[in-house]
Amino acid sequence: MQATNSVNIIPFDPNNSMNVNSWLKYFNDKCQEYNLDDKCQEYNLDDKWKLNNITAYLKNSALTEYVNSYDTIKTWEEFVSFLTERYISPIGQNSYYEPVNEARNLALQRTIDYHNKNKIRSDARFVDKKFNPGDLVVYEEFHYPNTRKLSPPFSGPYEIIKQCSEVTYEINKPNPLTKQATQIVHISKLRCFHSPDKLKLSHE
């Protein structure tokens, strides 16, 4: 901070809006409250106005008083906050330290390793399903919150009309949103339909 005689640029807390005269009065009152008149003097702004840097004077005076009466003054934190300047970062706003790139590369590599590890576990349980046009399937319905616990998890049976892609099929399930008679669904929502008439128990 450059030397100045302006009171407005002294870095007091803008939320408290305490000026120099108020701070000096508060400082002197605190000294008298704790019976420290022998250790701190009554500061007058008019006597010190000749100084080029009133901010440095206030800081040095407060620091000297704090050092001399460290064991006596217990409320230093109450008025030291008024001397706090705004924090200035040692680097620019758009600058960063070199280890940031190293951390990003490490995070990317660990993400890839974690993905490959999960892929191995998923592939071990994966069951390849293929449906042909004309097959009967059931569709896994989405259960909204607060629905009945005994609601059927599947609906159907529906007939496979055609295969749209490797993982999507078109079935003759009405779509309530588009008002169409068919719907394109993901293969993960489909299960093979087994008719109860053809179901046989193991002991039969």
CATH number of the CATH domain containing 169: 2.30.30
Tokens at 108, concatenated: 């990317």
pLDDT (0 to 100) of residue 69: 57
Note down the domain range covering 186.
Answer: 135-195
- How far is the C-alpha of 184 from the C-alpha of 92, rounded, in Å? 52
Indicate the number of domains in the chain. Answer: 2
Among 56-70, 78-92, 104-118, 123-137, which stretch is predicted with the lowest mean pLDDT?
A: 78-92
Tokens at 129, concatenated: 């399903």
* Domain assignment present for 126: no
Domain termination residue (choose one: 87, 107, 122):
87
Domain termination residue (choose one: 55, 87, 119):
87
37 or 202, which is more confident:
202
This prediction has a pTM of 0.39
- 83 and 25 within one domain: yes
| Runs of H (alpha helix) within 42-98 | 45-48, 54-68, 76-80
* Domain assignment present for 98: no
* Domain assignment present for 94: no
Among 13-27, 28-42, 51-65, which stretch is predicted with the lowest mean pLDDT?
A: 28-42
Quick check: 164 pLDDT over 80?
yes
Q: Decide: helix, strand or coil at residue 165.
A: coil
* Domain assignment present for 160: yes
Tell me which residue of 140, 125, 119, 133 sits closest to 187, measured CA to CA: 140
* Domain assignment present for 99: no
Tell me the backbone φ, ψ of residue 9, rounded to 5 degrees: -95, 5
Whether the CB-CB separation of 175 and 183 falls below 8 Å is answered with: yes
Quick check: 1 pLDDT over 50?
no
Q: Decide: helix, strand or coil at residue 132.
A: coil
* Domain assignment present for 129: no
pLDDT (0 to 100) of residue 110: 93
* Domain assignment present for 64: yes
Q: What is the mean pLDDT of residues 36-57?
A: 50
Tokens at 141, concatenated: 């319905």
